[in-house]
Structure 1
């Protein structure tokens, strides 16, 4: 594999892929598609649908996604997981005659809370990597709620549920974007003075949205999330918190 193309595909809607992404999938010689177990087959199906809608004639090769070892400390767990994903990429291509670029469809965008670029660095020999950006979960979330991300002249903090649990709310934060919060850390925060916009399966037919003053909607979001995960077997969600001064009005009305 001389050339590896990482194509951002947005958050589930085939319309999220850019024209550059469409052209890349059409020009690729081979596309690697992960399988993540029977309960997540629809993730592979979304990728197949996107490939089909682009008109790509590339050969498709599947590989089985490894499971992280929950017994290891977090950083070590992720390192071993990335090592194994890279190994499986190379194993999937070992007996394939590839003449031309290999493409991977990356959920969201390869640059934002995604480790595909870090995994690609483990390949030997190292391929030439091209990144085709996609719609991020943050863009899909703000669009779904029709809100601006930042306040006027305001800073935006992007963090994870894990960091929110260990470090608490960032000091003097105005707008906080939280990714990868499987434990719903927002319900454990001091909720007064915060407004939340939450979304799951953004851009897809299964999209779910909720918003409101955090004390009023936190429990509802937890229930929505748990029910959706039971029905689909997986969930991808994110949310935005904004500090509200005075009454708990909708902060989006101020911008």
Structure 2
């Protein structure tokens, strides 16, 4: 049984992203749940282990294999089933270890922005006392890497997903759109001009890749670069910002 569950945002890949609050929490945690995401994705586990070492955490590391989503199900049902399975794995992993004290999870980016960890935690029974330590988001890392602001003067900003962009296009009345969870480069479906894009992958890591420019000029190059990077590393995390009129 998990009595205390701490969800700690660790940023987008740089060990420097961990906050002092996050570092202190990791030193005080009794155990850390560490997901293993399959062949070719060991970098993600290694990064988390390096952070624990850097902050001097004595926590017991409990690794577990992430389940695979059932692609035959509709999207909402697929995700719900996947979350149920992850929650069950957390419970069985901790029951086998008999941990006493707070259990931590190192969450990529921030636990409150397009991350499912809080929803999975809500499936635990009995529900543990939750503590959330915020982290640097991919959106912050993206705009910092490109040295651009989120918004124009008095301009509105929308954060959405690749699926929403494909289905609905650029939202009406919004100058700036930040897109997450887009494995299909959904900006390819946009015919509107002018649109400007700022794209980044492996943000905060040594492998960081950045591209920016008018979408109709640089879009195809981003698609090619993304495919090459994913083939090289076996995985990729990227995000991008679109703006109707660049400053």
TM-score (norm 2): 0.98
2:117 matches 1:116:
yes
2:50 matches 1:49:
yes
Q: Deviations over 1:209-231 (max 9, x none)?
A: 00000000000000110000000
The answer on whether the counterparts of 2:7 and 2:132 sit within 8 Å (CA) in structure 1 is: yes
4+ residue segments displaced more than 2 Å: none
Q: Distance in 2 between matches of 1:138 and 1:19?
A: 21
Where in structure 2 are there 5+ consecutive unaligned residues?
Answer: none
The answer on whether the counterparts of 1:16 and 1:134 sit within 8 Å (CA) in structure 2 is: yes
SS of corresponding position for 2:115: coil
Q: Distance in 2 between matches of 1:60 and 1:14?
A: 18
Aligned to 1:133: 134
Aligned to 1:32: 33
Q: Distance in 2 between matches of 1:15 and 1:88?
A: 30
Q: Distance in 2 between matches of 1:135 and 1:80?
A: 28
Q: Distance in 2 between matches of 1:35 and 1:19?
A: 26
2:195 matches 1:194:
yes
Q: Distance in 1 between matches of 2:92 and 2:229?
A: 34
Where in structure 1 are there 5+ consecutive unaligned residues?
Answer: 245-250
Q: Distance in 2 between matches of 1:171 and 1:224?
A: 30
TM-score (norm 1): 0.95
SS of corresponding position for 1:234: coil
Aligned to 2:143: 142
The answer on whether the counterparts of 2:155 and 2:174 sit within 8 Å (CA) in structure 1 is: no
Alpha-carbon offset, residue 41 of structure 1 = 0.8
Q: Distance in 2 between matches of 1:172 and 1:70?
A: 35
User: Pairwise CA RMSD of aligned residues?
Assistant: 0.7
